[in-house]
Structure 1
Amino acid sequence: MSKLIESEEEIREAQIKEVIANYKRLLIEQPHLEIVFEKMSVSFNPSNIVALEDKGTVYPTMRITDKWGVLVVEQGALMSPNWDRVSVSEPIVIEGNKISGKGWTLELKESYSIEQDKTTLNYKIVRE
């Protein structure tokens, strides 16, 4: 019986490591959108959160409102350790003030847009 439990724990640990590796790749290593908070209000489901070492915590689902607009996340966002910014995967669709990526949508208010840093290739919100 203990061999079965040990085997299940090894499988579970391997799955957790894979989830962490995928989030690191998507939200840290590859180009991504990093959003700095101005006056943030956030709601999230505290179940299934994933710690990424000293980089912060991934929340699978969340909704953030701020001066820049509304971000709705359905497949993971990385909250910084001191809660001053959040990162989501690279934008895929940019149509005016509506931006979306894998598992998230962002609706920007007027006078805000996103731009890509040519050095890091990461994106950020800018005030026009």
Structure 2
Amino acid sequence: MSQENVEIVRQVYEAVARGDSAAVLALYDEEVELDATRLPETRLIGSGLARGHEGMRRFHQDWDEAWERAQDECEELIDADEHVISVVARRGLGRASGLRVNAQRAGVWTIRDGKVVRVVW
């Protein structure tokens, strides 16, 4: 099961790279929770919390608007039973703030019944 979970997260990253938001949301549970409050760059958008598909849409719209340019490159996916750890290289330039980010981040993805139910950054 856990290798299947890694594949689900890989599919999320592939869909994001294609700009296919419908495919991304199809991999998320209807009540998915996002907690990105530990990321310093979330101060660019005010809140690092989102819930459900609509919350995820709003979060990512706000995130995209906050950046002049931004790129996340998934470097590694680590199998951890019902969790998957993603190691990501993040590079970006804040639109209004001028904040430059060049950092490595890790996310913990929780998968249940073939869907992403929680992501913590």
TM superposition score normalised by structure 2:
0.30
Between 1 and 2, higher relative CO (CA 8 Å, sep ≥ 6) is seen in 2
Looking at CA atoms only, which structure, 1 or 2, has the larger radius of gyration?
1
Name the structure with the higher helix share. Answer: 2
